[in-house]
Amino acid sequence: MEQTKDNHHQLEQNKREQPMSLLMKVMITGFVGGVFWSSLGYLAYFFHFTELSPNMILHPWALGDWKYGKLGNYIAIFLIGLISILVAFIYYAFFKQMKSMWAGIFYGVALWFIVFYVLNPIFPNLQPVSELERNTIVTTICLYILYGVFIGYSISFEAQEMNRQTQMQATNE
């Protein structure tokens, strides 16, 4: 231990990683969940499993023609990630105590109904559900379910782990 104090602190192994706060985790989970599952949605669109691609959220706005191309989809995927942070916080606020995976599944299904029935008029290229292809409906519902489980189960699990830790500390003290 002849090193000077400054040197010592610069070593990679001596940097401390602070545990992430729960809110930070919720935020990242929301963003990653939005980006990941909408990317899969784009892949599904590429293989014609669904008529809808992520860029449908850009359609209501008057933007250049780029919004219909690849660039539009990439930007839309990023935007869905941002919106998804909000979705994650809504789950965190109301349902974080739900332990079962089913909470996430229902959350996903509820989101699907909100987007495809309630918000339907916003999206000019989204037909009423009764006129959508069967494949589109199946693919989107499944994506929403998996997305809901991803968000819901992650947040519930993290909340449980936090409870566990605080309980452990309480018993240790």
- Work out which of 39, 49, 123, 127 binds another protein, going by CB under 8 A: 49
Max Cα separation, the chain?
75
Are the CB atoms for 151 and 88 separated by under 8 Å? yes
16 near another protein (CB under 8 A): yes
Write the binding mask 104 to 143 for another protein: x where contact by CB under 8 A, - elsewhere.
-x----------------------------xx--xx--x-
Cβ atoms of residues 75 and 42 within 8 Å: no
DSSP label of 125: T
Using rule CB under 8 A, residue 145 touches another protein: yes
Tokens representing 25? 């985790």
* Residue whose C-alpha is closest to residue 133's, from 109, 111, 116: 116
Residues of this chain that interact with another protein (CB under 8 A) are 11-17, 19-20, 25, 28-29, 32-33, 44, 46-49, 101, 105, 134-135, 138-139, 142, 145-146, 149-150, 153-154, 156-158, 161, 164
